[in-house]
Structure 1
Amino acid sequence: MKLKLYHAAAAAAIALSVMLLTACGSPKQADPLPIIKLRTVGSSSEAACQRIGEALSELTAEKFGFTVEISQQSTTNYNAELERELLLGKEPDVFCYTDAENMFSLAADGTTEPLDDWLEEFPTLKEAVSQDRWNCMRYDGKLIAVPGNNPSAVAIGFEARTDVLDELGIDAASIQTMEDMHALLLAAKQQNPSSVPLVPHFGQTLMMLDCDPLNNGLGVLLHNTGTEVVNLYDTPEYEELCNQMHQWYTEGLILRDAPLTNAPNTRLMQMYGGVAFSHRVAEQNVVSVTRSTKQRLTSITLGSKLQNTSVLNIGWCISSRSEHKREGMQLLQYLYTDREAADLLLYGVEGVDYRRLDADHVTNIDELPANEWSTVHWGQPNCQAASTWVNADGTEVGYTGPTDVITSEAYGFTYTPKIELRPTVNSCLEIVRKYNNALLSGYLDPEEALPLFRSELHAAGIDKVIADKQYQLERWKAKNS
């Protein structure tokens, strides 16, 4: 019996010695770093996203102790893919919204983490954004997003190929009305009958109208002025615009089946020999489309810049279900304030995706990699933190548009529909999606379609929505006067 006990004790001692020797001989494996999943707007491949994510992770791992996994979705698929992931509980930690309605739906169902308390931990980020911009990111009084640092005022207008303007001998500054623009498109069509003078952007031919849409366009402030909320689609101005666009369409000036086209304006310009496209004209926006088309473009502006809450149509959110909210805020602050990080997310890797001209300026590289990094300026947390993109010869992309700004009296106001009105709002928006782009692309004859559009909106309850919006705006004005 004693012999058995002795052997058992010896075996245990040997086993313990082996364990100690093994522990001493092999260093303890470090815990893996947290992975922050970041979703951006773009059309890059998975390989390109992995490549840029790894480059960004080298920076964040050293500075903050986490890595970044990047994914992208195009403008067309962005909202649908995000909604699918939300249903499955697989949304990214950090993501952006791409329009006001998208922001409100995310906030209403509790998807976005309220940021008021978090922001106190990140004073650099808080101070980098003006208070009026923060005010535009609120829903039911709660801060739900970090605003993208895009222009807060843009002009209604178009981007036109500079070479075509030069060939026609037309000065862009002389084009100040839709009638002037019509004359340009006619001249371009006569010069090259096989061309499509005006191309859409993902089915939308006119990107901006002369109003403050007050977030969802169901009740607007005409001409971005005053405080009377009106039904845009009932106005003579809207009817006149629909008639103009239908005339352009029948004259062959707009891409046929434009509202059914699921492609960006930059690609359609190349595919159809396009001359121009509608645009929200501002400094950084001009740079973005020039970089994408790889053509010299000239801005055409129709009036002053407009500033309203809806111009700030992109913001960055933290998922309320994320296990890495603090790291997500660290990442946003880093991308918002650090040039190296901003350059990487916007342009890619220097010498691979773009060429640096000097400390402050970059341009397109001669030969892009197979897994090209494809982004847009407006789809970044802070495109203005990045180096300035210029033409290949070093000349800056010129912005010669208006500098005067018409600021809406509702700038900073965000409309939150009453709970009982939200089904009505959704029904009205579906009707707008059914008719609006088709009318403003000239695809539908307004004589037939506009009465149907108006009738369906009234039947769905748009007047109740407008009354609610007017009431909320008046209360907001009284509080903020």
Structure 2
Amino acid sequence: MKKVLGLLLIAVMMMSLLAGCKQSADNGGKDSGKTNGSSNTSGDSKNTDTSSSEPVKLIYVVPGDAPADLERGLKAVNEKLAADGVGVEIELKYYAWDVWDQKLNIMLSTGEEFDMFHVMNDRVSLANYASRGALADLTPYMDQYGSAIKAANPELAMKSGQVGGKQYGIPAYWVESALDHQATIRTDILKKYNLDMPTTFEELTSAFETVMKNWDGAQKPFIPMVGTEQVGGYFFNSDNNYVLYDKMFYVGQDGSVKNYFETDAFKESCKKARIWYEKGLINPDVLTVTQDQKDNQLTNGDWFVHAGTIGDITGMKKSYPDITPDDFAWLDFDTATPEIRPYGTRNIQAVPLSSKHPEAAVKFINWLYSSQENFDLFVYGTEGTDYKKLDDRNYEAITDAASGQVPYSFATWMIGNINFEYTNSTAPKVTNEHLYNIDKTAVEGYASQFTFDGSNVQTQLADVNTQIAAVIAPMACGVVDYDSSIKEALNLLKKAGIDDLVNEFKSQLETSRQQ
């Protein structure tokens, strides 16, 4: 018996020594050397995990509606992940926009197990999640598995995923971020009503009134807006020398940090929104409009001007069959002042603290950014089934005749990278021009390399955000008058702790700039 045990012990020791000699490959290995969307041929896109024969399932939670052929699309992705030895299998879970924030908060607060979710810094910031202690620190995994991620993102983008020097998020450097003060206007509508291109806010207001009065579309062309999220957009004011962070911090290019709601910029925004509301240019029910309703309005084409960009006009063609990618213009009332780049990206992937495999998210995204082939497969789908490539890094989505939707695709704004993306042949030309080309005249914002850490002021953050939704949003979208409402609103914000937040933001910003 002792002899048998001895032989078994020797066998186990030999197996351990052999296993110790194996090395698991770093996903991406070397810097990808990826530029201008070309495939990486020098780096190793594989990440072989020999510790387990079964891949780790990565549950990725995102907002919106799932594509109709999600199962087929992910099957192809997971087969490629397996062939490359990444050791990760991805599963997507979609939640509708109208329940997204609530559902995500419940999942985070109850410790529900999942592995990655999408963060929109201009909706709920990465710092907000980090301050709740809801996120896993990805710093060590980024060092071990994230070489392709680092190669595909500039330093400014990587810093967008950091809070307190720790890498809590993986940036999606999918777009030029210096875009806040512009809007998209439909030139086909200008032509239809014999209107000149507006050069001032007053001229735009006059043109909009004419359009609204004579509109013959299915729905009135109110400016697309979700009122509960409105805090006084850049589009409604003429101050082009600041960035608004976390919906409350005004940071001027001179380094000033202020309570945004005490600034002239906010006052001007509210007053202009009030003018539009009283003229019937803003939906009278704007405070109950959901994100899905806004998206449907943009897709249906019942709009004239939009404080944002349009990614695809395919849906609009159902109501406006003659519309083309040339029928849109970039509306910018101040072309003399350089645009400000607020941060590297607004869109970030984060890993909840509840994830048992936080490294899986880094491995997957590193694989994604390791080659054009990987990126195309996950984002655009299967060539010939979901999309076809065109000249000049352009592509065309292949849509289902009945639904008008692509069978499988994943939103570039959530996880794209400007080095790999194609421009959409069905997008307005001005969208492709401004979103997917770096603005070489833009300047970095004073706080562009800084991310606020609210862990010391969590109560104030929660209370202030509650008051913003209750008393600021109605002013910002013109439903209530600024002059009669601002005093009480500021009192409520101060009671909630906004001064503490501004002081904390200012202190952290000054410290970060000294480092």
Q: What's the TM-score, normalizing by structure 1?
A: 0.80
Task: Indicate the RMSD between aligned Cα atoms, in angstroms.
Answer: 3.2
What are the superposed Cα offsets for residues 53-87 of structure 1, whole Å, 9 maximum, x if unpaired? 22211211211243221122344433322222223
- CA, structure 1 residues 33+462, in 2 after alignment: closer, same or farther (shift >3 Å)? closer
Counterpart mapping for 1:270-349 below 5 A: 273-279=302-308, 286=310, 288-290=311-313, 293=316, 296=325, 297-303=328-334, 304-309=338-343, 312-349=345-382
| Displacement of 1:433 | 1.6
What are the superposed Cα offsets for residues 8-37 of structure 1, whole Å, 9 maximum, x if unpaired? xxxxxxxxxxxxxxxxxxxxxx95443222
What are the superposed Cα offsets for residues 353-383 of structure 1, whole Å, 9 maximum, x if unpaired? 3343358321233535768446543112425
Amino acid at match of 2:412: H
Q: 2:413 aligns with which of 367, 374, 378?
A: 378
- CA, structure 1 residues 88+409, in 2 after alignment: closer, same or farther (shift >3 Å)? closer
Helix, strand or coil at the partner of 1:453: helix
| Larger relative helix fraction | 1
1:9 counterpart residue number: none
1:87 aligned onto 2:122 = no
1:61 counterpart residue number: 82
Helix, strand or coil at the partner of 1:385: coil
Whole-angstrom distance in 2 between the partners of 1:290 and 1:234 = 39
What are the superposed Cα offsets for residues 243-297 of structure 1, whole Å, 9 maximum, x if unpaired? 2111111111112211210134341145582212211xxxxx55x2546655543
2:283 counterpart residue number: 255
Helix, strand or coil at the partner of 1:399: helix
Q: Is this contact kept in 1: 2:138–2:358, CA < 8 A?
A: no
- CA, structure 1 residues 84+291, in 2 after alignment: closer, same or farther (shift >3 Å)? farther
| Displacement of 1:208 | 4.2
Helix, strand or coil at the partner of 2:150: helix
Alignment length (residue pairs): 436
| Displacement of 1:332 | 0.5
1:135 counterpart residue number: 159
Q: 1:412 aligns with which of 420, 425, 449?
A: 449
1:162 aligned onto 2:187 = yes
| Displacement of 1:96 | 1.9
2:221 counterpart residue number: 197
- CA, structure 1 residues 142+320, in 2 after alignment: closer, same or farther (shift >3 Å)? same
1:216 aligned onto 2:246 = yes
Whole-angstrom distance in 2 between the partners of 1:467 and 1:305 = 27
Amino acid at match of 1:153: A
Amino acid at match of 1:475: T
| Displacement of 1:148 | 0.9
| Displacement of 1:399 | 2.9
Q: 2:470 aligns with which of 420, 428, 434?
A: 434
Amino acid at match of 1:246: R
Q: Based on CA coordinates, which of the two structures has the bigger radius of gyration?
A: 1
Whole-angstrom distance in 2 between the partners of 1:369 and 1:348 = 19
Amino acid at match of 2:66: S
1:78 counterpart residue number: 100
Q: 1:443 aligns with which of 479, 489, 492?
A: 479
Whole-angstrom distance in 2 between the partners of 1:126 and 1:67 = 22
- CA, structure 1 residues 41+302, in 2 after alignment: closer, same or farther (shift >3 Å)? farther
Helix, strand or coil at the partner of 2:181: strand
Whole-angstrom distance in 1 between the partners of 2:184 and 2:429 = 18
Q: 1:124 aligns with which of 133, 148, 170?
A: 148
1:114 aligned onto 2:147 = no
Whole-angstrom distance in 1 between the partners of 2:496 and 2:185 = 39
1:231 counterpart residue number: 259
